[in-house]
Amino acid sequence: MRRYFLWFVSFVILLIPALAFIFYAFLFSPQSPEKLVQIQIQSGTGLNKVASELQATGVIRSALALKLLARWNQQSGKIQAGNYQFKNPASPREILDRLIQGDVEKVSLTIPEGFTLQQIIARMAEKGFGKQEKLSKLVYDTNFIQSLGINAESLEGYLFPETYLFAEGIDEKALLKMMVTQFRSYVDSELMRDAEKLGLTLHQWLTLASIIEKETGIVEEMPLISSVFHNRLKRNIPLQTDPTVIYGIKDFDGNITRKHLQTPTPYNTYLNRGLPPGPIASPGLAALQAAVHPAETNFLYFVARGDGGHTFSKTLKEHNIAVREYLKQRRRK
């Protein structure tokens, strides 16, 4: 009897390391799938189904091991939905961490500086990030806009131009909220204080920045463009900027005419003094900075040179000369 007991004890002693090795292999030893594996986890999918699919596709050795690990850590119900890719060697612990953290494959959306709200909506719908009809309603939904802490009639100008990375399947509200949050991250307290020193509210600052963005794509020129508008505002001179007129024209065909300049709209800055009612596009950071940090000049006018830049003038006489030079260059081309 003693011999059997000693044999049993010896067996148990030998078994413990073996079990420990197996436990380590199942829970901590990396497993590499034979090829790239893509798994889409729908919202509400249970741990059992996820673990079984991961085992069937070769991502993990044992579904049971993953389930035990998740339950031991009280993480069974914390798996995030999304589209996952598995291609590199990883242990069940690492796989579980990815599932809990929502380390899903990201898709990207690029919004260029100067895009209008309608252009942004069209870009989002074209790339498959929401339905155009729903987006068009949301960006003018006062309840939704107010929930984002914005006091405006639309989200025009408040959707920051940027390249966004996010999980595939994100809904329209979440994506718009992300873009507004990005805008607020750039509109820091120091810049806001600078705007207030100039007597500008957030909405007015954003409106001016959007006009600057539409007038020039040259970052170095933006403070000069800003100085012209600030000088005109101080002297109560109409801004007389074409981009605002264009924004106020329904179905603009790309050719601004004298009739357009003489047509009354809230955005016609040839007929109305001061800033228009709101932004006309989404300005980038450089335009936002230029709007509150104008160059110190006496310029009141500017005209395109034909090479992307502008000629700036202090007097109407100088401006007329610059305009004639610009027209000569156009005729030569």
> Residue 26 pLDDT > 80, yes or no?
no
Mean pLDDT of the 61-70 span: 82
CA atoms within 13 A on the CB side of 266: 5
pLDDT value at position 18? 46
Mean pLDDT for 167-190 is: 88
Q: What is the pLDDT of residues 226-261, one digit of tens each?
A: 999 999 999 999 999 999 999 999 888 888 889 999
Q: What is the mean pLDDT of the chain?
A: 87
Per-residue buried b or exposed e for 141-167, using 16+ beta carbons within 10 Å of the residue's own CB: eeebbeebebebebbbbbbbbbebeeb
pLDDT surpassing 50 at residue 45? yes
> Would you state the pLDDT for residue 159?
97
Give 20's pLDDT tier (boundaries 50, 70, 90). Answer: very low
CB atoms under 10 Å from CB of 107, counted, come to: 16
Burial class (CB in 10 A: 0-12, 13-18, 19+), 333: exposed
Inter-residue contact 252 to 246 (CB < 8 Å): yes
Q: Which helix (H) or strand (E) holds 312?
A: strand 310-313
The stretch 51-58 carries a mean pLDDT of: 88
- Angstrom distance (rounded) from CA 128 to CA 120: 12
Give me the residue label for tokens 């007929």.
271
Structure tokens that stand for 255 in this block: 């050719």
Three-state DSSP at 324 gives helix
Beta carbons of 267 and 238 less than 8 angstroms apart: no
pLDDT at 28: 60
Calpha distance 83→98 (Å, rounded): 12
Q: Label residue 24 by pLDDT band (50, 70, 90).
A: low
Percent of the chain at pLDDT > 70 equals 91
Asked if the model's pLDDT at residue 63 lies above 70, the reply is yes
Q: What is the pLDDT of residues 79-131, one digit of tens each?
A: 887 778 888 888 888 888 888 887 777 788 999 999 999 999 999 999 888 89
19 — pLDDT class (breaks 50, 70, 90)? very low
Least confident of 11-15, 77-81, 183-187: 11-15
Most confident among 43-52, 222-231, 313-322 (mean pLDDT): 222-231
pLDDT at 100: 85
- Average pLDDT on 317-323 reads 91
What is the DSSP code (8-state) at residue 249? Answer: S
pLDDT of residue 317: 93
Which is more confident, 134 or 50? 134
Of 73 and 231, the structure prediction assigns the larger pLDDT to 231
